[in-house]
Amino acid sequence: MTTPSFLTTSTGRKIAYHRTEGTEPGIVFLGGFKSDMDGTKAVWLEEWAKSQGRAFLRFDYSGHGQSSEKFGDGAIGDWAADAQEVIETLTAGPQVLVGSSMGGWISLLMTQRIPQRVCGLVGIAAAPDFTEDGFWAGFTEEQRAALEADGQIALPSDYDEPYIITKRLIEDGRDQLVLRTPLPLPFPVRFLQGTADTSVSVATAVKLLDHAEGADMRLTLVDGADHSFSAPDCLKLIANSILEVTARV
């Protein structure tokens, strides 16, 4: 693991990142909920981008990986602000955003907040609005009451530790929703989704495709692929999708 560089944001958060120089448009990888920039997809794509001579940036949101702050103190709005400042400060010109899971949601937010800095999008098991349509919608009345009373609840995860879901995460998420209002995507877009994904459903991927507005959008389903989307064939599909997008920019 190489030592990252750090960007101090306007809010004082220290965001860890790795940046590779190369041709533009560059590629920015945005990771998922409680993941980090040293995951399989981010590191593999960085090496692939180097082989292509393409500029590439991966980073950790605050409360994730090697960045400052505590995960439980953060929310979608904080992580979107991190992403926006990273893109605006560390990249030049329009970028191709590659968003995985929550990073897909944050990428969609970037397309609306800094549209001049986005020229293409690849979503990998994109999870827009998951705090509302996933967590909140799936809570029992007892869980909702506990969230209100205690400010947080713990949910089991497929990883080592349970997910701590805070009241702030849910409430802040409602200010970041993208499936309730028009979502113009006026550039090449490729959504990738595994059929064996137990975190983001195929129905979510289809709903996003139906809701977004754009002249060059495609959804590719991979039979048997899980949420990690990190098998060799899946990684190659991500790379090929980036090539498709950059060829059409």
- Residues with a catalytic annotation lie at 101, 197, 227
Secondary structure string (H, E, C) spanning the chain: CCCCEEEECCCCCEEEEEEECCEEEEEEEECCCCCCCCCHHHHHHHHHHHHHCEEEEEECCCCCCCCCCCHHHCCHHHHHHHHHHHHHHHCCCCEEEEEECHHHHHHHHHHHHCHHHEEEEEEECCCCCHHHHHHHHHCCHHHHHHHHHHCEEEECCCCCCCEEEEHHHHHHHCCCCCCCCCCECCCCEEEEEECCCCCCCHHHHHHHHHHCECCCEEEEEECCCCCCCCCHHHHHHHHHHHHHHHHHC
d(CA 74, CA 168) in angstroms, rounded, equals 8
103: left (phi over 0), alpha (psi -120 to 50) or beta: alpha
d(CA 32, CA 242) in angstroms, rounded, equals 18
